């Protein structure tokens, strides 16, 4: 098992893409920490039904106190932090619309979670990773900033910021043995997206037509790239963002 006894945190891990990542890490024999605003304990309890314990932590990544408490709880439980997956983000609740109709409050709430949340989570786990001689940070981005997708300007800008942060953090943390990479999914039929009829109507078919692999993308399509970046198979990679979208964008 590639992640045997590694301690991994998945933010936004209670459902959707995060839940699929948490499940795959658990199958790879990692000690999984599910951090989410709701449902984290239930998700961890389900994982813990096997012989390998998991930890659920209620956490709002946009709040510094929550991310610091998350890191402390993981260290208290497992003694180390090997991998952080910054998956928590606002997307599935959004409705595409012209940028002139976006309000500044929408920008701020989205950036608080998608960008500041990732920053705070990185800041919370970095001291432990440095003290133990290394670690992995994997940022879940999006294919949208590579393609310049219209009508979701605040979301596209937030994921463009994540791509830039991935490169800058890789240089800043590389000397401490901390590798920072990203995964950029295409339009994915997560639970939240399936519950948003506007997104399905406006984005599902056009995304399907843009792909070389002409089928819907689901959360399980993303987990292989994330697990690869968390494993020793990617021990000489940092500052990279892998696009996983069925061939809609070649990067």
Active site positions, annotated: 155
Cα–Cα distance for residue pair 135/179, rounded to 1 Å: 6
* CA dihedral of residues 40, 46, 48, 50 (deg, nearest 10): -160
Strand order in the sheet with 83-86: 55-58, 31-36, 7-11, 83-86, 135-140, 178-185, 241-244
Give 10's Cβ-side CA count (13 Å radius).
33
* Distance, C-alpha 101 to centroid of its chain: 28
Cα–Cα distance for residue pair 121/103, rounded to 1 Å: 26
Which pairing describes strands 83-86 and 135-140: parallel, antiparallel, or unpaired?
parallel
Name the phi and psi angles at 34, rounded to 5. Answer: -95, 115
User: What b/e sequence results for 228-251 when a residue is b if at least 16 CB atoms lie within 10 Å of its CB, and e otherwise?
Assistant: bbbbeebeeebebbbbbbbebeee
Q: Which two tokens stand for residue 45?
A: 């309890």
Cα–Cα distance for residue pair 83/38, rounded to 1 Å: 21
Cα–Cα distance for residue pair 25/72, rounded to 1 Å: 21
């Amino acid at each position: 098992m590639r992640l045997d006894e590694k301690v991994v945190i998945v933010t936004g891990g209670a459902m959707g893409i995060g839940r699929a990542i948490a499940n795959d890490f658990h199958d790879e024999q990692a000690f999984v920490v599910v951090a989410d605003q709701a449902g984290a304990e239930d998700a961890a309890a389900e994982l813990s039904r096997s012989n390998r314990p998991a930890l659920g932590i209620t956490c709002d990544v946009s709040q510094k106190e929550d991310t610091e408490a998350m890191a402390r709880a993981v260290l208290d439980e497992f003694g180390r932090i090997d991998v952080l997956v910054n998956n928590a983000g606002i997307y599935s609740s959004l409705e595409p619309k012209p940028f002139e109709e976006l309000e500044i409050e929408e920008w701020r709430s989205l950036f608080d979670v998608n960008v500041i949340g990732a920053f705070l989570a990185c800041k919370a786990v970095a001291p432990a990773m440095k003290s133990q001689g290394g670690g992995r940070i994997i940022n879940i981005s999006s294919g949208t900033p590579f393609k310049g997708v219209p009508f979701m300007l605040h979301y596209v800008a937030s994921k463009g910021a994540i791509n830039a942060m991935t490169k800058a953090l890789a240089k800043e943390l590389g000397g401490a043995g901390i590798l920072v990479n990203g995964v950029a999914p295409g339009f994915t039929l997560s639970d939240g997206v399936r519950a948003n009829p506007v997104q399905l109507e406006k984005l599902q078919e056009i995304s399907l037509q843009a792909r070389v692999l002409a089928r819907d993308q689901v959360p399980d399509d993303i987990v292989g790239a994330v697990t690869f970046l968390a494993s020793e198979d990617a021990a000489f990679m940092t500052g990279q963002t892998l696009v996983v979208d069925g061939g809609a964008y070649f990067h």
